[in-house]
A and B are shown apart, each in its own frame.
Chain A
Amino acid sequence: MERTETLTTPHPWAWWCWAIGIGIAVSGTTNPLLLALIATAVVATVLLRRSDAPWARSVKAYLVLSVFVIGMRVFFQMLLGAGTGETVLFTLPQIPLPDWAAGIQLGGAVTAEGLVNTLYDALRLAVMLVCVGAANALANPRQALRSVPAALYEASVAVVIALSVAPQLIESAQRVRKARRLRGDQARGLRALGAIVMPVLADAIERSMSLAAGMESRGFARTRGLPVRGTLPLMLAGSLVATCGVFLLLSTDHRLLSVLLLLGGVAAVLLGLRRAEATLRVTRHRPHPWGSRDTLIALSGVFAALIVFSAGGDWGIGWLMASDVLHPSTDPLVWPELTPLMLVVVALVLAPLPLTRVRPPQATTSLRNDTRVRSLRPRPEREPELVAR
Chain B
Amino acid sequence: MTGLGAALPYAGPRERPATGARAWLALLVAVAVGAVAFSWPLFLRPESGMSATQAPVMFAVVLPLVLAVVLSELAGGRMDAKTLAMLGVLAAVGTILRPLSAGTAGFELIFFLMILAGRVFGAGFGFALGAITLFTSALITSGVGPWLPYQMLSAGFVGLFAGWLPRALGRAEIALLAAYGMVSAFAYGWLMDFSFWPFAIGDGTQLSFDPAASALENLHRFVLFNVATSMGWNLGRALTNAVMVVLLGVPLLRLLRRAARRASFVPANPARPLAE
| Direct contact, A vs B (beta carbon within 8 Å) | yes
Closest residue on chain A to residue B251 by CB atoms:
A198
The answer to whether residues A155 and B132 also contact, given A76-B201, A117-B204, A194-B247 and a CB cut-off of 8 A, is yes
The answer to whether B89 touches A162 (Cβ under 8 A) is: yes
The answer to whether A77 touches B136 (Cβ under 8 A) is: no
Cα A88 to Cα B47 with chains together (Å): 31
The answer to whether residues A266 and B62 also contact, given A166-B140, A215-B81, A220-B81 and a CB cut-off of 8 A, is yes
Q: Does A296 contact B (CB under 8 A)?
A: no
Closest residue on chain B to residue A245 by CB atoms:
B62
The size class of the interface chain A forms with chain B is: 35 or more
Q: How far is the CB of A172 from chain B (nearest CB, A)?
A: 10
The answer to whether A205 touches B76 (Cβ under 8 A) is: no
A262 surroundings in chain B (CB, below 8 A): 62
Q: Does B267 contact A (CB under 8 A)?
A: no
Cα A239 to Cα B65 with chains together (Å): 7
The answer to whether B136 touches A163 (Cβ under 8 A) is: yes
Query: A-side binding surface: helix, strand, loop or mixed?
Result: helix
Q: Does B231 contact A (CB under 8 A)?
A: no
B87 surroundings in chain A (CB, below 8 A): 158, 161
The answer to whether A81 touches B58 (Cβ under 8 A) is: no
The answer to whether residues A118 and B77 also contact, given A27-B57, A155-B132, A249-B48 and a CB cut-off of 8 A, is no
- A243 partner, pick from B36, B243, B252, beta carbons under 8 A: B36
- A154 partner, pick from B51, B76, B259, beta carbons under 8 A: B76
Cα A211 to Cα B259 with chains together (Å): 14
- A201 partner, pick from B80, B136, B208, B255, beta carbons under 8 A: B255
Q: Which residues of chain B (216-251) have a CB below 8 Å from chain A? A: 217, 220-221, 224, 243, 247-248, 251
Cα A307 to Cα B91 with chains together (Å): 41
Q: Does A353 contact B (CB under 8 A)?
A: no
Stretch with Cβ within 8 A of B (4 or more), from A180-188, A224-232, A333-341: A224-232
Q: Does A41 contact B (CB under 8 A)?
A: no
The answer to whether A250 touches B44 (Cβ under 8 A) is: yes
Q: Which residues of chain A (266-312) have a CB below 8 Å from chain B? A: 266, 269-270, 272-273, 276, 279-280
The answer to whether A204 touches B89 (Cβ under 8 A) is: yes
Q: Does A358 contact B (CB under 8 A)?
A: no
B183 surroundings in chain A (CB, below 8 A): none
The size class of the interface chain B forms with chain A is: 35 or more
Q: Which residues of chain A (110-128) have a CB below 8 Å from chain B? A: 114, 117-118, 121-122, 124-125, 128
Closest residue on chain B to residue A166 by CB atoms:
B92
The answer to whether A84 touches B72 (Cβ under 8 A) is: no
The answer to whether residues A250 and B207 also contact, given A101-B224, A102-B224, A135-B144 and a CB cut-off of 8 A, is no
The answer to whether A201 touches B252 (Cβ under 8 A) is: yes
The answer to whether B92 touches A77 (Cβ under 8 A) is: no
* Residue among A23, A162, A190 facing the most chain B CB atoms (10 A cut-off): A162
Closest residue on chain B to residue A239 by CB atoms:
B66
Q: Does B265 contact A (CB under 8 A)?
A: no
Q: How far is the CB of B17 from chain A (nearest CB, A)?
A: 14
Q: Does B86 contact A (CB under 8 A)?
A: yes
Closest residue on chain A to residue B40 by CB atoms:
A250
The answer to whether B72 touches A251 (Cβ under 8 A) is: no
Cα A258 to Cα B37 with chains together (Å): 15
B204 surroundings in chain A (CB, below 8 A): 77, 81-82, 84, 114, 117-118, 121
Q: How far is the CB of A255 from chain B (nearest CB, A)?
A: 7
The answer to whether B262 touches A209 (Cβ under 8 A) is: yes
Q: Does B102 contact A (CB under 8 A)?
A: no
A239 surroundings in chain B (CB, below 8 A): 29, 33, 62, 65-66, 69
Closest residue on chain A to residue B64 by CB atoms:
A269
Closest residue on chain B to residue A243 by CB atoms:
B33
Q: How far is the CB of B86 from chain A (nearest CB, A)?
A: 5
Cα A121 to Cα B133 with chains together (Å): 32
Q: Does A256 contact B (CB under 8 A)?
A: no
Closest residue on chain B to residue A211 by CB atoms:
B85
Q: Which residues of chain A (196-225) have a CB below 8 Å from chain B? A: 197-198, 200-202, 204-205, 207-209, 211-213, 215-216, 220-221, 224-225
**Other A-B pairs beyond A76-B201, A159-B136, 6, CB < 8 Å:** A154-B75, A169-B92, A169-B96, A220-B81, A232-B69, A245-B62
Residues of B whose CB lies within 8 Å of any CB of A are 22, 25-26, 29, 32-33, 36-37, 40, 43-45, 47-51, 53-55, 57-59, 61-62, 65-66, 68-69, 71-77, 79-82, 84-93, 95-96, 128, 132-133, 135-136, 139-146, 199-208, 217, 220-221, 224, 243, 247-248, 251-252, 255-256, 259, 262-263
